[in-house]
Amino acid sequence: MYASTLALIILLAYSVLATPLHPASFNSTGRLVNSTLPLNVTDTAGGNVPNVPLPTSVSDAVIAQFWIANFLENLEACFFEAGAKNLTEWGTDGYPAGTLEVVRRVAAQEQVHVKSITDILTSYNRPIIQPCQYTFPVTNTSEFLALAQLITTVGIGAVLDMAATLADQAPLFLPSLTSLVTVEARHDAFFRSAASNLPPNPAPFDTRISGTWALNLALAFVVAGSCPTPLEFPYLPPMEVGSLASASAGVGRRCENATAGADAAADTTATT
């Protein structure tokens, strides 16, 4: 099982007024203290982590939202990093011009997103969520693009849920969060079009999904027992409607070496 974190925090979220506040560490301008990413990453991404003011303290419920985001963004960063490498072998013939360059940019932007979240957690002296080992059921460009669209759609829904909590408890985070979700939406729009020639704007509003649901969806790509950072959350039994977790994939590895290919293993360390 993931060791204890989110089960307790989910309870704390419902009694936020009684939770302790966590003070932030700021630089001399009262803004987020962050370290730098490699220049090649920020150049490819088109920018670095935001230099924005943060609340002087936050509740456990807010920290829980950033832990969920950290977990999900780790997976996205790994998926797109591995995808960019695999596409150089698989090729992108028959797909939009510049597809490989777009995926490389998405991979770098996801690294910036991860760094932005971990800098926030570090500023409040809270632990960060380290990447797990992942395995993705993709063996060619078509499968990669289809899964990319699914992953980005889930990510958007989870950010919308996060925004609802932060709007009430830590609104100073909202400008950065809303600018992040628009970038995620652009990623999703590209993959919708590239994967299945679907319209980039399927509905007038996107659907918010809970962090618990998003984490359970992510389990399909996590190698059992591979997560180095304790994280516990309610486990939702899978519905019998064709699961990506049953598709063929490869042996899971740490993020920088994540592979596609042999049985995708859901981490069963979630609580039931």
Residuewise pLDDT in 10s, the chain (272 residues):
433 333 333 333 333 223 344 454 444 344 454 557 888 888 888 888 888 788 888 999 999 999 999 999 999 999 999 999 999 999 999 999 999 999 999 999 999 999 999 999 999 999 999 999 999 999 999 999 999 999 999 999 999 999 988 898 898 888 888 888 888 989 999 999 998 777 788 778 788 888 888 888 898 899 988 999 867 777 777 655 444 433 333 334 456 545 454 333 333 344 43
Burial of 179-202, coded b for 16+ CB within 10 Å and e otherwise, reads: ebbebbbebbbbbbbbbeeeeeee
Please name which of 176, 154, 172 lies closest in space to residue 73, comparing C-alpha atoms: 154
Q: At what angle do helices 60-90 and 6-13 cross, to 10 degrees?
A: 130
Residue type, 142: S
Residue type, 105: R
What pLDDT does residue 110 have?
94
What pLDDT does residue 249 have?
35
R_g of the chain computed on alpha carbons: 18
Residue type, 15: S
Angle subtended at Cα 255 by Cα 254 and Cα 256, rounded to the nearest 5 degrees = 100
What pLDDT does residue 257 have?
41
Distances (CA, A) of 13 to 17, 18, 21, 174: 9, 10, 12, 18
The rounded distance, in Å, linking the Cα atoms of 239 and 29 is: 50
Beta bridge partners of 32: 26
What pLDDT does residue 195 have?
83
What pLDDT does residue 239 have?
56
In this structure, the number of other CB atoms found within 10 A of the CB of residue 244 comes to 17
* DSSP code at position 127: P
58: left (phi over 0), alpha (psi -120 to 50) or beta: beta
Q: In what order do the strands lie in the sheet with 259-260?
A: 253-254, 133-136, 259-260
CB 165 within 8 A of CB 14: no
The rounded distance, in Å, linking the Cα atoms of 103 and 251 is: 22
The rounded distance, in Å, linking the Cα atoms of 181 and 155 is: 9
The rounded distance, in Å, linking the Cα atoms of 72 and 258 is: 15
Q: At what angle do helices 60-90 and 99-123 cross, to 10 degrees?
A: 160
Q: Report the greatest alpha carbon distance in the chain.
A: 57
The strand ranges marked E within the chain are: 22-23, 57-58, 133-136, 248-249, 253-254, 259-260, 262-263
What pLDDT does residue 179 have?
85
